Amino acid sequence: MEQSNQFLGTEPIGALMKKYAVPCIISLLVGALYNIVDQIFIANASYLGSYGNAANTVVFPLTVVALAIAVMVGDGCCAFVSISLGKGETGHAKKSVGNSVMMIVGGSLLLTAVYLLFQTQIIGMFGGTVNEETFHYSKEYFFYISLGIPFYMFGQAMNPIIRADGNPRFAMVSTLVGAVANIILDPIFIFIFRWGMMGAAVATVAGQVMTAGLAGWYLCHMKTIKPSANDLKLNRRICGRTLLLGITSFLSQISLVAAMAAINNMLRKYGALDEIFGQAQYAQIPMAVVGIVMKFFQIVISIVVGMAAGCIPIVGYNIGAGKKDRVKALFTKLLIAEALVGAIAFVLVEVFPKQLISIFGAANESSYYTTFVMKAFRVYLCMVILACVNKACFIFLQAMGKAAASTALSMIREVVFGVGFALALPLFWGLDGVLYSMPVSDVLTFIVAAFLIVRTYQELKRS
CB-based contact 64:253 (threshold 8 Å): yes
Band (pLDDT 50/70/90 cuts) for residue 161 is very high
Q: Is 214 exposed, middle or buried (0-12, 13-18, 19+ CB in 10 A)?
A: buried
Q: Is 427 exposed, middle or buried (0-12, 13-18, 19+ CB in 10 A)?
A: exposed
| Percent of the chain at pLDDT exceeding 70 | 97
CB-based contact 174:215 (threshold 8 Å): yes
| Percent of the chain at pLDDT exceeding 90 | 47
Cβ neighbours of residue 224 closer than 8 Å, sequence gap 6 or more: 1, 4, 5, 85, 90, 93, 165, 166
Cα angle 415-419-424, degrees, rounded to a multiple of 5: 135
Cβ neighbours of residue 385 closer than 8 Å, sequence gap 6 or more: 339, 342, 343, 345, 346
Q: How far is it, in rounded angstroms, from Cα 120 to Cα 98?
A: 35
The stretch 71-78 carries a mean pLDDT of 92
pLDDT at 333 over 50: yes
pLDDT at 41 over 50: yes
pLDDT at 186 (0 to 100): 94
pLDDT digits (tens, 9 = 90+) for 412-455: 888 899 889 999 999 999 889 999 999 999 999 999 999 999 99
pLDDT at 31 over 80: no
The stretch 459-463 carries a mean pLDDT of 76
Amino acid present at 150: P
DSSP state of 226: -
Instruction: Select the highest-mean-pLDDT range: 28-32, 308-312, 401-405.
Output: 308-312
Q: Radius of gyration (Cα) for the chain, nearest Å? A: 21
pLDDT digits (tens, 9 = 90+) for 173-215: 998 899 899 999 999 999 999 999 999 999 999 999 999 999 9
Rounded mean pLDDT of the chain? 88
What is the secondary structure of 373-406 as a DSSP string? Answer: HHHHHHHHTTTHHHHHHHHHHHHHHHHTT-HHHH
Q: How far is it, in rounded angstroms, from Cα 403 to Cα 399?
A: 8
Band (pLDDT 50/70/90 cuts) for residue 73 is very high
User: Residue 188: how many CB atoms within 10 A of its CB?
Assistant: 12
Q: How far is it, in rounded angstroms, from Cα 80 to Cα 92?
A: 8
CB-based contact 156:8 (threshold 8 Å): no
CB-based contact 23:162 (threshold 8 Å): no
CB-based contact 338:421 (threshold 8 Å): no
Band (pLDDT 50/70/90 cuts) for residue 3 is very low
pLDDT digits (tens, 9 = 90+) for 231-244: 999 999 999 999 98
pLDDT at 150 over 70: yes
Band (pLDDT 50/70/90 cuts) for residue 149 is very high
pLDDT at 379 over 60: yes
pLDDT at 397 over 50: yes
Spell out a b/e string for 64-82, using b for 16 or more CB atoms within 10 Å of the CB, else e: bbbbbbbbbbbbbbbbbbb
pLDDT at 324 over 50: yes
Q: How far is it, in rounded angstroms, from Cα 104 to Cα 111?
A: 10
What is the secondary structure of 78-112 as a DSSP string? Answer: HHHHHHHHHHT-HHHHHHHHHHHHHHHHHHHHHHH
Angle between helices 90-117 and 149-164 (to 10 degrees): 160
pLDDT at 362 (0 to 100): 60
pLDDT at 1 (0 to 100): 35
Q: How far is it, in rounded angstroms, from Cα 267 to Cα 262?
A: 9
DSSP state of 4: G
